[in-house]
Amino acid sequence: MKLRHLLLVDDDPTINFFNRYLIGKMNIFDQIHVAENGQLALDKIEELQKIGETLDMILLDINMPIMNGFEFLDHYEKLSDKIKSSVVVCMLTTSLAKEDLEMSKEYDLLSDYIDKPLYEAKMRELINKYFGK
C-alpha cells in the first residue's frame, strides 16, 4: 500500500527538485506536493481538504519568506483534528541553531527534526518509523 499525499515545504527550488525526484523514485506516495512557504502550504492543505483528502506527511523547512516553518506550525496547530490527526510533520532543515531545535520541541505535533540533505536511507527510516512500511 502506498501513502497518498506528501507536502514538501521549502523555498529552495533546487532542494524541492531533488527531494521530489528522490522521493518520487522511491514510489512511496501517490502525490508529492510542493509549497514554497508556510502560507502556500496552508493553502494546499485547504485545497486538499475541499476534495476530501488529507496529507500523510509534511517535510517542513524553517527559514522561508512570507511564513517560516514555525509560523506555519502556529497556524497548523489551529486546524481541525480531522485535518491533522494522521499527518506526520517533520522539520527538514539546515539550521544548526540550538534555539531552533529547542523551539521545535515546543510543538507536540512535530514528529521529527531532521538535518538536510534528505537521502533515501533517511526517508526510508522515517517511513518505517511512522508508517511501518
pLDDT for the residue 1: 58
* Three-state secondary-structure class, residue 57: strand
Find residue 92's DSSP bridge partners: 114
Q: What span, in angstroms and rounded, lies between the C-alpha atoms of 86 and 83?
A: 8
Q: What's the whole-model pTM score?
A: 0.95
Report pLDDT for 39: 98
Give the pLDDT band (50/70/90) at residue 21: very high
CA-wise closest residue to 69 among 35, 46, 44, 98: 35
How far lies 124's CA from each of 22, 43, 88, 130, 133, in Å? 11, 28, 14, 10, 8
Per-residue pLDDT band for 18 (boundaries 50, 70, 90) equals: very high
Please state which of the four CATH numbers 3.40.50.2300, 3.40.50.1970, 3.30.390.30, 3.40.50.150 is assigned to the domain occupying 3-131. 3.40.50.2300
